Amino acid sequence: MSYGPPPPGNPGPPPGGYGTGGYGPPPGGYGPPSGGQPGFGGQPPVGAEPPKNYIAFNIMGIFGCMIVGIIGLIFALQVNSKWQMGDYAGAESAANTAKICGIIGLIAFILHALFWVVYIIFVVIILGAAASAPTTTYY
């Protein structure tokens, strides 16, 4: 099927067809100047140690607020693997998210534990008051 000749003033496709001349890559090339993928640095930062993953806070956070604890645990487990793959910015981002979720989960865990301590003390006081109450019966 042919659509006919190009209209006047339209130069048509570049000479040589696709891939054999024509248009080249954009000036400056593709991607970051290092030639790698975006977000992946060539060298680790100066410290050269992976960031802290806050895994203990997130494990305790599961018992205080399960959703936040699980989300934080997922991000905490990603920190070391991203660091080993060379995604240093991603490892820092995962560590920051794990830290925030860990702090929220730890506060929820502490409040949850504090609630149960207060509840047990309340029950003991009520049972003690009931046991020491006089047992007089009137017929």
Residue 51 CA, distance from chain mean position: 14
Closest CA to 108 of 75, 52, 66, 77: 66
In 3-state terms, what secondary structure has residue 19?
A: coil
- Note the pLDDT of residue 45: 59
pLDDT of residue 79: 93
The structure tokens listed for 100 are 């925030």
117 φ/ψ angles, rounded to the nearest 5 degrees? -65, -45
Closest C-alpha among 54, 52, 51 to residue 102: 54
* Per-residue pLDDT tens over the stretch 87-119: 889 999 999 999 999 999 989 999 999 999 999
The phi-psi region of residue 32 (left if phi > 0; otherwise alpha if psi is between -120 and 50; otherwise beta) is beta
Cβ(14)–Cβ(21) under 8 Å?
yes
% the chain with pLDDT above 70 = 69
Give the residue extent of every domain in the chain. 55-131
Confidence of residue 21 (pLDDT cuts 50, 70, 90): low
> Are 27 and 34 contacting, i.e. CB atoms less than 8 angstroms apart?
no
Handedness of CA 40, 44, 50, 53 (dihedral sign): negative
